[in-house]
Chains A and B, each alone.
Chain A
Amino acid sequence: MAACPATGRRMGGGRAARVPQSVRSSDMAKASSESVAPQVAQGFWRKYVFSTDHQIIGKQYYFLALFAALVAMFLSWLMRVHLAWPRLAIPGLNALSASGAPAGLMTPEYYLSLLTVHGTLMIFFVLTTAPQAGFGNCLLPAQLGAERMAFPRLNMLSFWLTFTSLGVLLASFFVRGGPAISGWTAYPPLSALGSITGPGEGLGQSLWIISIALFCVASLLGALNFITTTLDLRAPGMTLMRMPLTAWAWFVTAILMLLSFAVLLAACVLLMLDRVAGTSFFVPSGLIVSGQMIHGHAGGSPLLWEHLFWFFGHPEVYIAILPAMGVTSHLLSCFARKPVFGYRAMVWATIAIGFLGFLVWGHHMFVSGMNPYSAFAFAVLTVIIAVPSAVKTFNWLGTLWGGRLRLTTAMLFALGFVSIFVSGGLSGIFLAEPPVDVQLHATYFVVAHFHLVMGMAAMFGIFSGTYFWFPKMFGRMMNETLGKIHFILTFVGAYCVFMPMYFLGMAGNVRRYAQFVDPYLQPLMPLQRFITVAALGLGAAQFLFIFNLFWSLFGGKKAGENPWQATTLEWATPGAARAVYRGPYEYAVAGQEQDFVMQNAPDAGPSRARKEAADDNADQISNA
């Protein structure tokens, strides 16, 4: 096992006495605040590549997500340009794919390939990876006062599975037929019958399924690790109700991942069996594709895939958004210099969203042919989940009300999150009502809804997390001026790209079309072109962020210990006692010298704090 060489090296490093204890504690995942991780010399590969250090793994996830986001953004540029100017040859595109874009003109199937890979990259490799696995690994142990994640080797395995999964997905660009064309939802029978249903449905679709199955396994391992770490490795005094809201978000998200990715993994296995082993989970009998009868399948149901997929798919949107909600709550409090308004309500809202998230998947299927009575039951359950989201919004505004706002870039993105979340979230109420959904389903109204409430909002969470925790992760500050320009361009860009899509959808513009050829869509083309121009601008603004990130890694101002004057343990002095004495958001506490009290500041509570502060004052006076 991998443990043997590591143990051997540690023994060789001359700290044999500590080895048995540290090995046992990592294997049994026992919390032990006294034991210190063995500081042994490790080779480059072990330290930075196949690392078991959660902080390195977190950064690996972060940069993997950054790479995936750049690829996905580039694909969205290609799609947007093609939609706005379908007869415009894109220079160089034929070099990327000779068959997909002969003479630079995109074919409809290549458009669908880009659409599929864009969605898959963003949902899995960006929105699931960066906020949870990236920031979670870097910060969850620190915030809980734990030394490390519970299962370092599973953690390493989880990252490298994710890496492999990304490689498999991108490899489909280089196979015959190109990547899958069935969208990130991969509905059978389109996805189940092989290349007879379309280019990309051969090897491309198989690679997609393998990639997602690997991603599921990686996510399951990661989720186990997060749950165990949160339950077992908290510092003394860190009760659940003293955890920062970010830690709560990572914890609940991990539970969602454990329960939902297991179902998607099963669904992927069944779909693969339908493709290669002649089973019929999703394929009914009597199909004729391109004039050819499909033999050997009987009794399957495409609706079964839809149920399994959305049983994963709906919790997945909360997997993407809960960590961003956590970051927003965390930052609004810190930069408003006020406690979180309704901390307990926030925790219960997070748990409620997690629980209800499993009961609403049917709202993706109102027009699917599902029983209309169950559709209505799903409608009622769906609007109920809007309640905890509304409670969160109310509490964010309550936190800001009367606050002393410090408008750092991190705070601006948190504020932007609230605005975008409201603009995207409220349209969910329309889509939750079955008869209204019938009209808006599969139109750009839905595209606007999920790009705002899940895509952009989660991206804003990632940005605010980056600007906020960069000093913790890399020891330097990011440039605030560049950051603020990046923010305002991103904020305006997000509204310009996605708000007009609501109107496109209302006018009946269907999504997932490679071109808009119908007469009734022609009056909407000016709006389509406006969106494309805005999307090019929004994407270009992200290079400011990339530049700022890499420049600050080496040239940023050196960060102090607690640059934002925050209260939670990730900002505690390294090596300081990890015992916790209070809740996570003690800002503006009366009678304190500073306007914040850290969680590990040793006294019992506000009343005693006041008394001691008064004693201190008395001492100072007598000394004077």
Chain B
Amino acid sequence: MGKLLAFTMVAATVATVVLFWRRVWWFPPNISTVGAGVDGDFRLTLWVTGILFVAAQLILAYCIGRRPKAGRARYLTGNLRMEVAWTVVAAVTFIGLALHSYRTWARMYFIGAPPNAVKIQVEAEQFAYWFRYPGPDGVFGPMHLRLINDATGNYFGLDPARDPASRDDIVTATLGIPVDRPVELLLMSRDVIHSFYVPQLRIQQDIVPGMVIPIHFTATRTGNYQIVCTQLCGLGHYAMRASLKVMTEANFKQWLARQAAEQ
């Protein structure tokens, strides 16, 4: 039984290492400026924990699978020097990893969006996302709760008749953004907690009713991606989706003009 268990442990360890090494299943390709930092932090952590994982499993398998010795074990109650050494090594390694992730975290959240960022409001509801661009005046018109009505398409409760700032606002069901330009999203929810997650952007942020949460990023590759909800929000949670369209600056301008014409 000892040999069988030791063999199983070694086999599980080898299989895990091979699957990580060959990247049989892996992250979708990164398309944001901050993503390289996330991927780098992941790789470093994978190396450190991978070494600890292999070492611990193999030592365990060795203890179980080796030929049993006759007689009694040595009466050994511990070794203070080894204990202190291991504690220090573990503390330095783990705290080092956490501190190392500071740079990426700071780029995501401590530094605000630059002034030239494209500002877009995001409103989440069970089970859809809506997006609003401020239009040429750069100002979002005020929202009126009682005017919010999905049936008439007034997802943000705008009153263009009374509010001049609302007249040029553009509301869409797809999030269109320009490539290589900072984007700032202002996340809002009107019912329960939702989330904004685009795996390729390496961005995930809960959308909490009662709060406006800003996030910012810069996409580096054009294409169509999916925005998915990751916070359990009700029976349609699994199907709460929107499209993200990353376009060249020229295409983005055209696209936005088309959307404005359709308002």
Contact = CB atoms under 8 A, between A and B. Distances in A.
A and B part of one assembly? yes
Nearest to B84: A345
Interface string A162-201: 0000000000000000000111010111100000011100
Contact of A384 (B59, B95, B228, B235): B95
A169 B60 CA distance: 41
A372 interface: yes
B258 interface: no
Interface in B186-214: 190-193, 195, 197, 199, 202-206, 208-211, 213
A507 B25 CA distance: 6
Contacts of B209: 189, 284, 286-287, 302
Contacts of B16: 423, 499
Given A376-B102, A397-B59, A503-B25, A390 B77 contact: no
Interface stretch (A48-56, A252-260, A431-439, A614-622): A431-439
Interface in A350-408: 367-369, 372-373, 375-376, 379-380, 382-384, 386-387, 390-391, 393-395, 397-398, 400-405, 407
B108 A438 contact: yes
B225 to A, nearest CB: 9
Given A435-B108, A520-B226, A587 B73 contact: yes
Contact of A338 (B2, B60, B68, B73): B73
Interface string A328-351: 000000001111111111000000
Contacts of B109: 372, 375
Given A337-B72, A397-B63, A390 B86 contact: yes
B94 A190 contact: no
Nearest to A484: B1
Contact of B193 (A187, A290, A340): A187
Contacts of B45: 429-430, 433, 436
Interface string B21-38: 000111110000010011
A89 to B, nearest CB: 19
Interface stretch (A10-18, A212-220, A226-234, A508-516): A508-516
B83 interface: yes
A442 B230 contact: yes
Interface in A414-472: 415-416, 418-419, 422-423, 426-427, 429-430, 432-436, 438-439, 441-443
B12 A518 contact: no
A63 to B, nearest CB: 29
A345 B105 contact: no
B126 interface: yes
Interface string B65-76: 000110111111
B101 A379 contact: yes
Given A341-B78, A397-B60, A182 B232 contact: yes
Contacts of B4: 488
A112 B105 contact: no
A473 interface: no
A434 B82 CA distance: 31
A423 B101 CA distance: 22
A401 B63 contact: yes
Contacts of B9: 419
A338 B97 contact: no
B231 interface: yes
A433 B59 CA distance: 27
B76 A338 contact: yes
From A182, A418, A589, name the one whose CB has the most chain B CB atoms within 10 angstroms. Answer: A418
A550 B78 CA distance: 40
A438 B108 CA distance: 10
A190 B193 contact: yes
In the complex, which range does the number of interface residues on chain B fall in?
A: 35 or more
B56 to A, nearest CB: 5
A569 interface: no
Contacts of B116: none
Interface stretch (B131-139, B146-154, B160-168): B146-154
Contact of A394 (B19, B72, B86, B199): B86
Contact of B190 (A288, A300, A430, A442): A288
Contacts of A595: 72
Contacts of A407: 1-2, 5, 64
A293 interface: yes
From A183, A190, A344, A589, name the one whose CB has the most chain B CB atoms within 10 angstroms. Answer: A190
A185 B233 CA distance: 12
A77 interface: no
Contacts of A338: 73-76
A300 B74 CA distance: 62
A79 B21 CA distance: 31
Given A108-B238, A189-B209, A198-B235, A438 B150 contact: no
B206 A439 contact: no
A518 B8 CA distance: 36
From B4, B69, B97, name the one whose CB has the most chain A CB atoms within 10 angstroms. Answer: B97
A430 B49 CA distance: 9
A441 B105 contact: no
B233 to A, nearest CB: 6
A506 interface: yes
Interface in B233-255: 233-239, 241
B28 A507 contact: yes
B261 interface: no
Contacts of B49: 426-427, 429-430
B257 interface: no
Nearest to B190: A288
B108 A506 contact: no
Contacts of B150: 291
Contacts of A293: 145-146
A495 B53 CA distance: 14
Nearest to A284: B210
Contact of A379 (B79, B98, B203, B231): B98
29 contacts: A108-B239, A189-B193, A190-B233, A284-B211, A287-B191, A288-B145, A289-B126, A303-B208, A339-B77, A342-B78, A372-B108, A375-B105, A390-B52, A390-B90, A394-B86, A397-B59, A404-B68, A418-B60, A432-B98, A433-B100, A435-B38, A436-B41, A436-B101, A438-B108, A488-B5, A512-B238, A518-B241, A587-B75, A588-B74
Given A189-B193, A499-B12, 9 more contacts: A345-B78, A397-B63, A427-B49, A432-B98, A433-B98, A439-B27, A510-B229, A516-B238, A587-B73
Interface of A: 107-109, 112, 181-183, 185, 187-190, 197-199, 284-291, 293, 300-303, 336-345, 367-369, 372-373, 375-376, 379-380, 382-384, 386-387, 390-391, 393-395, 397-398, 400-405, 407, 412, 415-416, 418-419, 422-423, 426-427, 429-430, 432-436, 438-439, 441-443, 484, 488, 491-492, 495, 499, 503-504, 506-508, 510, 512-518, 520, 524, 527, 587-590, 595
